[in-house]
Structure 1
Amino acid sequence: MIDQNEFPSDADPFDIAPVRLTVDLGALAENWRDMARRSGSARTAAVVKADAYGLGLEDCGETLYEAGARDFFVAVVQEGVTLRAYAPEARIFVLSGIWPGQERMFFENDLVPVIASEEQLAFWMSVLVEFGDYPCALQVDTGFNRLGLPMQDALALAEDVSRPASFSPVLVLSHLHSGDTPSAASSKAQLESFRQVSAAFEGIESSLSASAGIFLGPEYHFDLTRPGIALYGGEAVNGMKPLRPVATAEARIVQIREAAVGSTVSYGATHQLERASRLAIASVGYADGYLRSLSGSGIPLRTGGTGGGFGFIGGYRVPVIGRITMDLTIFDVTDVPDGAVRSGDYIELFGPNMPVDEVARAAGTIGYEMLTSLGLRHERRYLEAE
């Protein structure tokens, strides 16, 4: 029988993890300060929905609060409940609004619902009748055709003298659908529409711009900006260099194997080697959010001519070869010098040497999806902000 005492138990889980994620909270805080500077006279919120874009709501929320953020946006009420413990004096807006049965969660955690439809508005009015005054925000659709009251309905609501006095929104907001494309004429059209809304709700703060809109200039900033992806090191505007990288994902190399010319690699034998090759088998797959569409071959849905993803190890970019599987990915490390890569080493999947948006484009998607798809198996290390 094996004596368990013979094995050390003090190993750092991060150092032995199959897949791991480093989150630089200092870079996150500095990215928020950068976006606050770019927002000029407008206050700057922080969008932390989807577990802070996959990087951890608790740690990221607390870091952003300590950096100075006092307005936060989450997608659903449960996120707001979690965040409240880490942002005690902040205003926390819930973008999906409020539904019957959620009243206690909102009131006990001092969360602000974003009213985004006629149905929600009617329900909210009934809540106010029963519970009295309570703040809300009002979302108006200026051309997205997603959430928000139709613009004409919002203008009529602003002018409705019979509107209950207890209905007192603290913010009106809308969202640009093409803010990441600076040349899009639609952003100017949405801006003009939102100016009408803002004027109709005189005396109430207004917010139009998420990350991309902040870069469009001061006229888009209004009273409050709402940066999201830019905080986490992703591209906010197409073709523009992102801010500081925040997340680095790595996978351990389980095995390095020699493969003969003419042999095939991975499921479906979709890649045939044209040279004798050295292959590194890494312990990451689509179960960890390393998307199958990054495969080096055998992916009929991917278009645009891309050959698949790359990793970074030993100072070299190395291609994914063959299909990515649930738990394993194969990289071609033939061109990496002998001794520069060994079993047990970690390969960078995305991070400072492999920008997350570059990896995402190889997968036919966007950095948002790469970050929010991170699986549960990543062992996490947070580098504290000063």
Structure 2
Amino acid sequence: MREKAAGLRLTIDLAALAGNWRRLARLAAQAECAAVVKADAYGIGIAAAGPALAAAGARTFFVALPEEGVALRRALAESPVPQAPIYVLGGFFHEAAELYAAHRLSPVLGHLGEVERWRRWQERGQAALHVDTGMNRLGLSLEEAENLARSGGPGEGVDLLLSHLACADEPAHGASEAQLRRFLEAKALLRLPRASLANSAGIHLSPTFHQDLVRPGIALYGGASHPQAVSDPVVTAEARILQVRTVPRGDTVGYGAVETMKRTSRIAILAAGYADGYLRAAGSSDAASGALVCIEGHLAPLVGRVSMDLIAVDVTDLPQGLAAPGRWAELFGPNIDINAVARHAGTIAYELLTGLSRRACRRYVGQEG
């Protein structure tokens, strides 16, 4: 019934998600392959993604915030690994210390104040330590890491050293090698049991970057992470066709009158827009073409601006009657590359996936078992 009343439907292929994880695990065969499921598993739903990844073989997970860790722990309750380590990249929220204890969450300690609070906390379990090697976001500087090593290290239970690559998606960029050198220096200083540096893109760098554990994120969900990356689409987004109308040559379509019809055209109006996470910048104008959609195997270009709830597409060249009210147009999925849509919108697949609307009808396919 939900789909009958929806303007946007999302088909989420959990078998493709599992297949992407297995492919990455093979690429980093000498290291453990974890799974990053922050931002509600990049928009696809942590309650479904967590168990699917666990069934595929993932044994360690990363989230951004403790509340995400709580949701994941609950999702894993009936999975093969209900006690799997869950690392919180945002660190140790001491005001929420009881959540870390109750749900066995492991903070990634990112500054000396957190390290000290962690040392004083009586109920601590496992934790990781983040060193900054060039991103300049979270993490201890190398000088701080050296001082910490001299003072006895981060404390009991800290079993993983990690850092994050800034430019791994650009193979020719020298920043990754420089970060690796700094990371190995920190690793030698702190001597923690395990180390993790590679994100999705970093998995495609040399095996030295893999260390003991790799942390894929976007590559699990079908987004591009590296020029050599192969990732199957996980999300298919489709918008309902509401109406097909004829627009005379010389008329404009949509807000701002930014696109003028160069011929009399058939225009299909779709029930999705930027309120659903389909970004306004993906639209078209007289100055620049926009993204494409796919209707029954035929491509159709956007016309004019994307509005809050509606998108216009030109179906003039499609067979008569193929685009009809009640049918569905693919916004991205197996026929429309999400990365191409993102480029038209001046962004990346991460933003499209994590911005997917809560009002969309979601259906999950490909569950194992």
Alignment of 1:88-127 (within 5 A): 88-127=82-121
User: Is 1:308 matched with 2:297?
Assistant: no
What is the alpha-carbon distance in structure 1 between the residues aligned to residue 281 and residue 308 of structure 2? 12
**Deviation for aligned residue 1:337:** 1.2
**Deviation for aligned residue 1:271:** 1.3
What is the alpha-carbon distance in structure 2 between the residues aligned to residue 255 and residue 107 of structure 1? 54
**Deviation for aligned residue 1:225:** 0.4
CA contact (8 A) 1:288 1:373 kept: yes
The counterpart of 1:157, out of the listed 135, 148, 161, is 148
Letter in 2 for 1:100: H
Letter in 1 for 2:19: E
What is the alpha-carbon distance in structure 1 between the residues aligned to residue 168 and residue 333 of structure 2? 25
What is the alpha-carbon distance in structure 2 between the residues aligned to residue 178 and residue 24 of structure 1? 29
Match of 1:334 in 2: 316
Alignment of 1:1-386 (within 5 A): 12-87=1-76, 88-127=82-121, 131=122, 133-161=124-152, 166-237=155-226, 239-240=227-228, 242-297=230-285, 306-386=288-368
**Deviation for aligned residue 1:123:** 2.3
**Deviation for aligned residue 1:314:** 2.7
Letter in 1 for 2:178: A
Question: 1:77-119 CA deviation, whole Å, 9 max, x = no partner?
Answer: 0000010022212100000011231110000000000001122
Q: Which runs of 5+ in 1 are unaligned?
A: 1-11, 299-304
**Deviation for aligned residue 1:24:** 0.3
**Deviation for aligned residue 1:125:** 2.6
Over aligned residues, Cα RMSD in angstroms? 1.5
Q: Secondary structure of the residue that 1:102 maps to in structure 2? A: helix
Letter in 1 for 2:110: A
What is the alpha-carbon distance in structure 1 between the residues aligned to residue 288 and residue 208 of structure 2? 38
Q: Secondary structure of the residue that 1:206 maps to in structure 2? A: strand
CA gap of 1:259–1:44, structure 2 versus 1, over 3 A, is: same
CA contact (8 A) 1:65 1:86 kept: no
**Deviation for aligned residue 1:242:** 3.2
Could you tell me the TM-score, scaled by structure 2's length? 0.95
Q: 4+ residue runs of structure 1 moved beyond 6 angstroms?
A: none
Could you tell me the TM-score, scaled by structure 1's length? 0.91
What is the alpha-carbon distance in structure 2 between the residues aligned to residue 373 and residue 319 of structure 1? 22
**Deviation for aligned residue 1:215:** 0.4
Q: Which runs of 5+ in 2 are unaligned?
A: 77-81
Aligned length: 363
**Deviation for aligned residue 1:333:** 0.7
**Deviation for aligned residue 1:18:** 1.1
Question: 1:38-94 CA deviation, whole Å, 9 max, x = no partner?
Answer: 112100100000000000001001100111111000000000001002221210000
Q: Secondary structure of the residue that 1:336 maps to in structure 2? A: coil
CA contact (8 A) 1:252 1:282 kept: yes
Identity %: 46
CA contact (8 A) 2:165 2:202 kept: yes
What is the alpha-carbon distance in structure 2 between the residues aligned to residue 275 and residue 337 of structure 1? 17
**Deviation for aligned residue 1:159:** 2.8
What is the alpha-carbon distance in structure 1 between the residues aligned to residue 14 and residue 296 of structure 2? 26
**Deviation for aligned residue 1:252:** 0.2
**Bigger mean CA offset, 167-176 vs 250-259:** 167-176
